Structure formats: C-alpha cells, structure tokens
C-alpha cells in the first residue's frame, strides 16, 4: 500500500520579470524551496528577488519528468527506486527495454 503521508518532491518554478525561463528548485516544501532560492540569490548576485512575479508548483511524473544533470538526461523514477528519484535516461531505457 502506498504511503501518502510521506513528503513528496515537488518542483517549485520561480518566474522573474524579464526572464522567460524559471529558476527551478526541487524540494519537499515551499519553505525549503524558498530557502534554497534565497541562498542562490545571496551567493550569485544574479537574482533580484524583488522581480519575482510568479511561483508554480509541479510534481514529477514517474517515467515522464526529465531534467539535465551534468550534461546527461535523467528521468524521474521516484525516491522509492533511487535515493534522489532520478536515473540516467540510458539506464532507464535499458530497464524498460525502450
């Protein structure tokens, strides 16, 4: 049986005025994502948090959600499969005979 009380990873997409692409934080809560965004803004001086215009929240879909990490494509498989929920696309294809 699925444990629905366990926190789920979400993608918090922060949209800034003048930038069509969002800054995406992968976190278990909005507070955690906000803290990550604040740390990034403080470390880089690239983000002006005063220009934040929208925040959207998405949940990853197993076998569908993708991201690039270290130049390689990864597929979301869930934290019950890997420690961080992501697997390299070529490994995913091998497992699923795709």
Q: Classify residue 25 as exposed, middle or buried by CB count within 10 Å of its CB (0-12, 13-18, 19+).
A: buried
pTM: 0.83
Query: Tell me: the pLDDT tens digits for 40-91?
Result: 999 988 889 999 999 999 999 999 999 999 999 999 999 888 989 999 999 9
Is residue 92 within 8 Å of 98, Cβ to Cβ? yes
The bridge status of strand 10-16 relative to strand 66-69 is unpaired
Reference 27, options 84, 68, 76, 65; nearest CA is 84
Instruction: Report the alpha-carbon distance of residue 26 to residue 40 in Å, rounded.
Output: 13
């Amino acid at each position: 049986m699925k444990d629905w009380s366990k926190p789920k990873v979400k993608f918090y997409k922060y949209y800034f005025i003048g930038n069509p692409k969002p800054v995406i934080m992968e976190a278990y809560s909005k507070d955690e994502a906000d803290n990550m965004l604040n740390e990034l803004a403080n470390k880089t001086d690239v983000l002006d948090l005063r220009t934040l215009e929208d925040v959207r929240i998405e949940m990853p879909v197993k076998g569908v959600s993708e991201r690039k990490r270290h130049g390689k494509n990864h597929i979301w498989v869930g934290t019950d499969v890997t420690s961080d929920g992501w697997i390299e696309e070529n490994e995913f294809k091998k497992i699923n005979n795709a």
